[in-house]
């Protein structure tokens, strides 16, 4: 089939009935549910972009194997040009969503492409797992599917490993083998957009200990697999708020969910890893499924930071406060953070590695640096927005107030900004800002940037340990060489 349209994506959603729970009730038609309607349309737009003349050449390519047009997320990157083709896709999707939707289809499809290309890692443990991963990639590519993923265990007792939790099946684990496949039970979090996806892929970060064998799992299933329960978090908005009052929150809400597997059958051909702690610990660091998508998240994060920075700049200008030194200082800080991320992305794209498999891997150090910086600079951008917007963020009237004939004059007089900024213009700008920095929607976006790629604290520690391994500290050696010189010459002075 190759690239789908938005209508085909929606038709796919309508054809299934996954077990979705929302606010204590079972959702029977996800497409008719107010909270999901707009996000579904936003994802559908991304699918339609694949057929749009303006984007098609940039974000899709002809698959060598099938001759069909497929999304660039399925391109195995072997040259810098391939990497740019991937970047064009990430950028197009991030621009279309202002970087606010983190789990657009390109994210997990890149994960899968990387797993496909590095399936030899699985081969050494079980050739069938490698074969399954390769076939699954082709299935997703050729049907242009949209995946969610859940890689974290529920937050019960983090001081204990999976097999030490009170209940053996709190964390998702294997129960028994059958002729058809493996029965799994337990929960995983936190599957963003799960209710409006086609399939789910399960894998884990490293950290398995001996005794955790039953939890060492990787597999993929259709989202409507019997026994798979999707429990949504409380919505940040009810899906009926006006686009005028909430220009972002009304459109880009990404639902998050806990996935409960109630004795779910994983067919043997959908299993990528099982009962092997060593393989489960190696999967993430050794198959590129962490590093390749870091390019996607870097591009998306850059766009989101750019958006937050631009909103703050316009906010400051609209009320004439950007003439003050303190405000310029804060805005300058945001601009410098933005430019640092942009520069790091360029370095990542230029300082790539070519792996023995032929895969081009964008630079680890700059990508991981972005991953370390974004959880700091994005929350800071939101803080600066709150500080500069100040009380004005809390005085925005509603659409109905703006439209009411009795209030129209007040709206244009008291809500206007500096000279040249009308009441309408200022109110719209402040509404945009409030969605980002005040609404529950904006707080989730902030939490997302802190945690979407795992715990930044532990990630930075891993980064440091890797950095230490390859970084020789040669300048220190050079500085200390004076002592060697002194020992050899017996003199305090260093000869020229």
Q: Quick check: helix, strand or coil at residue 151?
A: coil
Decide if residue 465 touches ligand FAD (CB under 6 A): no
| Angle value at C-alpha 298, between 296 and 304, nearest 5 degrees | 105
Residue appearing with tokens 């490993």: 161
C-alpha 47/C-alpha 93 separation (Å) is 10
Could you tell me the smallest distance in angstroms from the CB atom of residue 286 to ligand FAD?
Answer: 19
Question: Which residue of 151, 331, 338, 345 would you call a contact of ligand FAD, by CB under 6 A?
Answer: 151
84-101: b or e for each residue (b if 16 or more CB lie within 10 Å)? ebbbbbbbbbbebbbbbb
> What character string, x for contact with ligand FAD (CB under 6 A) and - otherwise, covers 427-446?
-----------------x--
Taking CB under 6 A as the binding criterion, the range among 241-249, 265-273, 393-401, 451-459 that sits at the site for ligand FAD is: 451-459
Listed in sequence order, the residues at least 6 apart from 479 whose beta carbon sits closer than 8 Å to its beta carbon are none
Could you tell me the smallest distance in angstroms from the CB atom of residue 442 to ligand FAD?
Answer: 12
C-alpha 125/C-alpha 178 separation (Å) is 21
Residue 210 or 420: the one with the smaller Cβ distance to ligand FAD is 210
Closest-approach residue to ligand FAD (CB): 192
Decide if residue 253 touches ligand FAD (CB under 6 A): no
Decide if residue 129 touches ligand FAD (CB under 6 A): no
Q: Report the C-alpha dihedral over residues 91, 449, 350, 306, rounded to 10 degrees.
A: 50
Could you tell me the smallest distance in angstroms from the CB atom of residue 274 to ligand FAD?
Answer: 19
Decide if residue 454 touches ligand FAD (CB under 6 A): yes
Could you tell me the smallest distance in angstroms from the CB atom of residue 456 to ligand FAD?
Answer: 8
Decide if residue 192 touches ligand FAD (CB under 6 A): yes
Decide if residue 447 touches ligand FAD (CB under 6 A): yes
φ/ψ of 22, rounded to 5, equals: -135, 120
Taking CB under 6 A as the binding criterion, the range among 143-151, 208-216, 269-277, 472-480 that sits at the site for ligand FAD is: 143-151
Kindly state the number of chain residues that form the binding site for ligand FAD, as judged by CB under 6 A: 20
State the CB neighbour count (10 A cutoff) for residue 39: 21
C-alpha 241/C-alpha 245 separation (Å) is 7
Element (H, E) at 207: none
Decide if residue 455 touches ligand FAD (CB under 6 A): yes
Any binding-site annotation on 416?
no
430-444: b or e for each residue (b if 16 or more CB lie within 10 Å)? bbbbbbbbbbebbeb
Residue 249 or 402: the one with the smaller Cβ distance to ligand FAD is 249
Question: Contacts with ligand FAD in 274-333 (CB under 6 A)?
Answer: none
Could you tell me the smallest distance in angstroms from the CB atom of residue 230 to ligand FAD?
Answer: 12
Question: Contacts with ligand FAD in 86-115 (CB under 6 A)?
Answer: 103
Decide if residue 220 touches ligand FAD (CB under 6 A): no
State the CB neighbour count (10 A cutoff) for residue 30: 23
Any binding-site annotation on 50?
no
Residue 298 or 389: the one with the smaller Cβ distance to ligand FAD is 298
Question: Contacts with ligand FAD in 358-377 (CB under 6 A)?
Answer: none
Could you tell me the smallest distance in angstroms from the CB atom of residue 447 to ligand FAD?
Answer: 4
Give me the numbers of helices (H) and strands (E) for the chain, helices first please: 17, 14
Q: Which residues pair with 266 in a beta bridge?
A: 182
Measure CA of the first residue to CA of the last residue in the chain; give whole Å: 72
Residue 416 or 446: the one with the smaller Cβ distance to ligand FAD is 446
Decide if residue 378 touches ligand FAD (CB under 6 A): no
Decide if residue 155 touches ligand FAD (CB under 6 A): yes
For residue 83, what are its two tokens? 């990497």
Q: Are 172 and 153 in contact (CB under 8 A)?
A: yes
Question: Which residue of 86, 87, 117, 149 would you call a contact of ligand FAD, by CB under 6 A?
Answer: 149
Q: Are 232 and 20 in contact (CB under 8 A)?
A: yes
C-alpha 389/C-alpha 321 separation (Å) is 10
Give the footprint of ligand FAD on this chain (CB under 6 A). Answer: 103, 149-152, 155, 158, 190-192, 256, 444, 447-448, 451-452, 454-455, 457-458
- Residues belonging to the binding site for FAD are 149-151, 155-158, 192, 455-458
């Amino acid at each position: 089939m190759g690239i789908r349209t938005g209508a085909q994506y929606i038709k796919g959603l309508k054809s299934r009935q996954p077990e979705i729970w929302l606010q204590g009730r079972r959702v029977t038609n996800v497409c008719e549910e107010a909270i999901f309607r707009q996000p579904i349309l936003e994802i559908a737009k991304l699918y339609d972009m694949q057929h749009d003349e303006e984007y098609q050449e940039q974000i899709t390519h002809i698959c060598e194997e099938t001759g069909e047009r497929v999304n660039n997320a399925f391109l195995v990157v072997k040259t810098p040009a391939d990497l740019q083709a991937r970047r064009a896709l990430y950028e197009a999707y991030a621009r279309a969503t202002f970087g606010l939707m983190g789990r657009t289809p390109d994210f997990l499809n890149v994960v899968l492409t990387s797993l496909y290309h590095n399936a030899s890692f699985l081969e050494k443990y079980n050739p069938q797992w490698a074969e399954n991963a390769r076939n699954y990639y082709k299935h997703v590519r050729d049907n242009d599917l949209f995946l969610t993923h859940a890689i974290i265990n529920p937050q019960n007792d983090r001081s204990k490993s999976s097999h030490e939790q009170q209940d053996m099946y709190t964390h998702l684990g294997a129960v028994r083998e059958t002729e058809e496949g493996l029965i799994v039970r337990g929960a995983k979090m936190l599957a963003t957009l799960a209710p409006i996806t086609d399939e789910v892929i399960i894998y884990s970060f490293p950290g398995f200990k001996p005794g955790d064998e039953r939890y060492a799992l990787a597999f993929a299933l259709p989202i409507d697999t019997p026994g798979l329960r999707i429990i949504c978090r409380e919505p940040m908005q009810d899906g009926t708020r006006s686009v005028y009052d909430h220009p972002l929150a009304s459109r880009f809400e990404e639902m998050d969910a806990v996935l409960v597997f109630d004795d779910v059958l994983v067919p043997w051909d959908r299993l990528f890893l099982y009962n092997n702690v060593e393989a489960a610990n190696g999967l993430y660091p050794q198959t590129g499924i962490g590093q390749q998508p870091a390019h996607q998240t870097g591009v998306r994060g850059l766009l989101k930071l750019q958006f937050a920075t631009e909103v703050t700049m316009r906010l400051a200008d609209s009320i004439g406060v950007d003439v003050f030194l303190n405000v310029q200082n804060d805005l300058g800080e945001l601009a410098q953070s933005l430019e640092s991320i942009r520069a790091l992305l360029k370095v990542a794209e230029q300082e790539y590695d070519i792996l023995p498999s032929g895969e081009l891997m964008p630079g680890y150090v700059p990508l991981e640096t972005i991953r370390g910086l974004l959880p700091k600079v994005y929350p800071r951008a939101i803080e600066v927005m709150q500080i500069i917007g100040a009380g004005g963020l809390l005085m925005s009237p509603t659409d109905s107030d703006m439209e009411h004939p009795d209030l129209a004059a007040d709206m244009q007089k008291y809500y206007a900004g500096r000279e040249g900024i009308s009441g309408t213009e200022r109110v719209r700008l402040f509404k945009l800002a409030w969605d980002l920095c005040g609404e529950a929607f904006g707080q989730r976006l902030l939490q997302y940037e802190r945690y979407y790629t795992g715990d930044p604290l532990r990630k930075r520690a891993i980064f440091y340990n890797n950095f230490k391994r390859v970084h020789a500290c040669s300048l220190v050696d050079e500085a200390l060489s004076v002592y060697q010189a002194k020992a050899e010459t017996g003199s305090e002075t260093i000869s020229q």
